[in-house]
Amino acid sequence: MSQGIVCASPSLTITPYVTDAHSFSLPRETVTRQNIYDENTGEIKYVQETPRFEKENFNLNYGISAQINIPLGKSPALCHEATLVNIEAQKLLIKKTKMEISLFRLEQCAKQAKLGVTFKPNTPSAVTCEDIVVTIPPNQVIPHKHKIEQ
């Protein structure tokens, strides 16, 4: 991944799971009452009671779910190439920034040295210009003296 470039790659996802269920009936009845009618009159002759054997149900399920993702086409290769190009561009940008910092230091330290101003040796600020050397530019006359002979 480089600067938001995300490349799809093959992946495997494994997810275990467990489910549990418990069911029952309320109110709990132990007998079922059923009216028995007289066929001629339609009146209730008696009530028949049938025992009920209610059951509670318990259920436990468990397992594993697996998912495999495989990218198709040329996209993965192009994405990896784009990432490498982006990383190379970042490296070049870092080199350019370092060079700009060095040139700025060189320019500032040279200007100050030509003015006769330097940092006190062995101080934290002296490190800023410690590797800068100021020499006389070419095609300039170095201050000197001549003996005039008579």
Q: What is the pLDDT of residues 80-131, one digit of tens each?
A: 888 899 999 999 999 999 999 999 999 998 888 888 888 888 888 888 888 8
| Main-chain phi, psi angles of 72, to 5 degrees | -110, 160
Cβ proximity of 125 and 108 under 8 Å: no
pLDDT of residue 110: 87
User: pLDDT (tens digit, 9 = 90+) per residue, 129-145?
Assistant: 888 887 777 777 777 88
pLDDT of residue 100: 96
Beta bridge partners of 44: 37
